[in-house]
Amino acid sequence: MDITKVDHTRKAFFKCQNKFRGLVSLFKSKRFVENRTFDPSFLFRSKFRDLMLDARTVLHPSTFSEYHEWISYHIKHQLPELSNFPIQYDELEGVSRKAQAVSIEREIQWIASRIKANKDVINFHNKMANILELLIKRNEYCTAIETLKDLESNMGASFWSVQIRIALEYLNGGLESQKKYTAEVRSVYRNGLLNFIAYNTSVRNEDRVSIYKFNADVTIRIENHTRFSESVKQYLGNAANLLI
């Protein structure tokens, strides 16, 4: 690698580092904000997602692992108080409109680096998922719900956990319990993927709905959705297991 390219690579790396430092400063700021709509932890996580999407675009792949390790270290040591703010549904806010398309090679390199940096978190999730599966097989639905709540308390909600919870609420408390939980989830964000997936998962879970009718109906809902971009519609169509 020539000296010019090395210099450009480090500049991009330092720029991403400085952007992260700016987010940390904003999160720690005690400045009064009139009519604050979102708490600092929500804003930090939202802006951090945008920063990571930007980093995957501008960083050289050779620095991906270094950057992820640097980020993990500084979140742990500079932002220990962040863990006092539960993630809840923060990570399901929506699809970033700032994300630039990158090559499939770069995308895979970035994802592989993130998986490596978060292997302990992923292993913990898998351990909890195995416990959850065992409880469901034993028909211990109430305990399974509490286990799922513990998982979400540690890691935040995901589309997977929301769908599992909808099914468990039905098995444990019937249709009314399922509808109550689904309404609670849908109230978090009035629009977006979380609302759409929660609603359609709840509909699919009703005994009166056949898989063939549901498949046809949800395909039409996706195609006719006015707020979803074509890429989001394609995601929902390809990831049919999220809904069907």
Q: What is the DSSP letter of 156?
A: -
Domain match, 8 and 92 both: yes
Token representation of residue 117:
């940096």
CB contact at 8 A, 93 and 160: no
Token representation of residue 140:
């211990």
Is pLDDT above 70 for 32?
no
CB contact at 8 A, 147 and 129: no
Domain match, 30 and 89 both: yes
What digits encode the pLDDT tens for the residues 50-66?
Answer: 999 999 999 999 999 99
156, 183, 216 - which closes a domain? 156
The pLDDT > 70 percentage for the chain reads 91
pTM of the model: 0.86
Domain match, 12 and 96 both: yes
The reply to whether 73 falls in a domain is: yes
CB contact at 8 A, 61 and 10: no
| Other CB atoms within 10 A of residue 170 CB | 21
- Look at the chain and report how many structural domains it folds into: 3
The reply to whether 165 falls in a domain is: no
CB contact at 8 A, 233 and 223: yes
Domain match, 7 and 101 both: yes
Is pLDDT above 80 for 79?
yes
Domain match, 8 and 85 both: yes
CB contact at 8 A, 93 and 139: no
**Burial (0-12, 13-18, 19+ Cβ within 10 Å), 15:** middle
Averaged pLDDT score across all residues of the chain: 89
The reply to whether 113 falls in a domain is: yes
Q: What letter represents residue 49's amino acid?
A: R
Task: State the residue range of the domain holding 137.
Answer: 119-156
Domain match, 22 and 102 both: yes
Token representation of residue 151:
């998982």
Domain match, 188 and 241 both: yes
Domain match, 14 and 110 both: yes
Domain match, 47 and 104 both: yes
Domain match, 47 and 141 both: no
Is pLDDT above 60 for 5?
no
The reply to whether 163 falls in a domain is: no
Domain match, 177 and 106 both: no
156, 184, 205 - which closes a domain? 156
Domain match, 136 and 217 both: no
**Burial (0-12, 13-18, 19+ Cβ within 10 Å), 238:** exposed
The reply to whether 71 falls in a domain is: yes
The reply to whether 162 falls in a domain is: no
The reply to whether 164 falls in a domain is: no
Is pLDDT above 70 for 222?
yes
| Helices (H), ranges, the chain | 3-28, 40-58, 64-78, 104-117, 119-137, 141-155, 159-186, 193-204, 211-224, 230-238
